[in-house]
Amino acid sequence: RETPFERKGSKKNVDRTKWKTLRDFVDESAVEEVLDALESDRTRLDDVMSTTYDYPETLSTAVSSIRDALPTSSAPPPIEPLLVAQEKTTTDMAKHLESLASHYEQMAGALHDSEAGVSPTDEEMQAMNQDTNELPSIMVELEYDVNYIQEAHEKLSLARTAAREQLDTSRSTLDDLDELGDIMSDMLQKQQDVETDCEDLLEGLQQRLLVVEDLHHRFVQFQASFNKLLIEIARRRQYREAAEKIVEGMMAQLEAMTEEERQVRDDFNSEHGAHIPTDICLCIENPPTRWEVVPWAGDTREVLPEIDSDILAQ
């Protein structure tokens, strides 16, 4: 393929597609090897990093599952007031029972005395009648207290059942949290391993990028120097053309002077040569010296390629 320096002939209809470009001087296979190595390392880096991509989603799912399994935050039934009320009720029931026992003992004593022929006094009969009249109300209160104790017992039983269920749920939640902790520890270790692998791969990528950057820098320098080369060749061509014009002007001036001198000498010899002996001045018939401006001894005429102005403008 031609370069801009090697084309010959007319500048018209020149097929520039056959010219060499800067890429023709680049080792494309080496560049492809570097790019392939970069792509390979980048793929390995993506593969390593992808091993932990699902960690956030996995942790979020696990935490949501544990949160959903937690019991509702409803306040437990108040147990202390139930216990206090139950204690008061049992105390009242004990008093009623003691009163019934005392009334029973009085009635038993009176029956025993009656069987022995001893009649109770009016005061004793009045007290026994009063206690007997109070029996229905005491029984009602005892029945009410028994019902209250039963209700309290049922409430406490429900509270105990709910507490046991909540305790079982809390134990299950703790087990899930322990398992999640183990999973997070494994994830953390894996993440640290991934970070170490990524640092190694990134260091290798950085080294390869430095190579690519160096190649790019060298190519840019080469491109800039090549552009300067085109400008330098154009400048030297201008210098050569200017020097050639000076030489051509000198040659034309010397040829004109030589021709004028030859004519003057011919006129002199025609007019006076016949009257002057030839041996009196041998050089009188010599023609004028002809001059030629040539390159310095050992040097050759500089040959420079022609560069189109549109290329220089780019």
Residue 74 is predicted with a pLDDT of 60
Question: For residue range 178-188, what is the model confidence (pLDDT) as tens digits?
Answer: 998 999 999 89
Residue 9 is predicted with a pLDDT of 45
Residue 273 is predicted with a pLDDT of 84
Confidence of residue 299 (pLDDT cuts 50, 70, 90): confident
Question: For residue range 260-294, what is the model confidence (pLDDT) as tens digits?
Answer: 999 999 999 999 988 888 788 888 888 999 988 88
Residue 247 is predicted with a pLDDT of 93
Which residue blocks in 22-54 are alpha helix, DSSP H?
28-50
d(CA 262, CA 255): 10
Q: Where are the domains of the chain?
A: 36-240
- Over residues 284-310, the mean pLDDT reads 86
**Paired residues of 88 in beta bridges:** none
Confidence of residue 8 (pLDDT cuts 50, 70, 90): very low
Please give the residue that has the higher pLDDT: either 60 or 72. 60
Question: For residue range 109-143, what is the model confidence (pLDDT) as tens digits?
Answer: 666 766 666 666 667 667 666 766 666 777 777 78
